[in-house]
Amino acid sequence: MLLRIKPLFLSAVVPLFITSPRSFIHPTAAMSTANQCDNSKSAIIFLHGLGDSPAGWSSLERNLPSLRPKLGDGVHYVFPPAPTISLTINDGMMMPGWFDLYDWPIGINAKDDQEGKLAAANVIEETVKRLEEEEGISPSRIIVGGFSQGGAVALLTAYHRRTQGKVPFAGCVCLSGWLTLKDDLSVTDEVAKSTPLFWGHGQYDDKVLFEQQKHGVDMLKSHGVDVSDRSYPMGHESDYAELEAMAEFCEKLLFPSE
């Protein structure tokens, strides 16, 4: 049975989010070269949250196939590590994070670290490029997702950054995240039609406030994105019901005709 994901704390301010412990093996260690995209292959790229590491969410590689067996063989799981950065809200403390934070808790008027967020989006885009060049997996067979900060970066990469001429992703997953750089939000028609979103959020989230979900979902829907939004009676965490819904969403996108 899947374990309920509970947050621990590095300090009075900054949370550390850990799932069931297991060894993290980066998928690139087993990559082989490929010149053409192979539609029998697919990938899920998932970004951890603030203060965490790839090990914090790498249990998805086991948990999702346990819920939906098709998400096992042929699906590559990639868990990129965030850089270690200085965090403004915690007096400059150094810790793993995708971008800086200036407000706490994170409401809809939170200030953006544009430079940090764009750099984080580049990490996903480089990972996507590597999967395409070395494994033959097209972006159209890749789901990008993340928790908290990782969810914010996934949204940015899947919608803001998939500009005209870039192949849209198969889908996007945002768990307890938020929509960033909203003033610059622009979603191409092709991306809106091709990249559905699953957004799960805790109703009692006191870190990334629950208001962020409705605000972000409404904005993305106004740009034509197909959004499946679910809320759960929990805080800034994840649980079995949310992961079960995520697994169903991923299976439908990666195996639509089966």
Q: List active site positions.
A: 148, 205, 236
Alpha-helix residue ranges (DSSP H) falling in the chain: 60-67, 114-130, 149-155, 189-194, 211-222, 240-254
Alpha-carbon gap, residue 64 to 45, rounded angstroms: 13
Number of other residues whose CB lies within 10 A of the CB of residue 17? 27
Alpha-carbon gap, residue 204 to 236, rounded angstroms: 7
Alpha-carbon gap, residue 210 to 203, rounded angstroms: 6
CA 125 to chain centre: 13
Strand partners for 238:
5
Please return the burial class of 181, using the count of CB atoms within 10 Å of its CB with bins 0-12, 13-18 and 19+: middle
Q: Which residue has the tokens 């995708």?
A: 98
* CA dihedral over 185, 179, 61, 26, signed as positive or negative: positive
Q: What is the DSSP string of 230-255?
A: EEES-SSSB-HHHHHHHHHHHHHHHS
Residues in CB range of 146: below 8 A, 6 or more apart: 46, 47, 48, 49, 152, 153, 154, 173, 174, 175, 177
202: amino acid identity, one letter: G
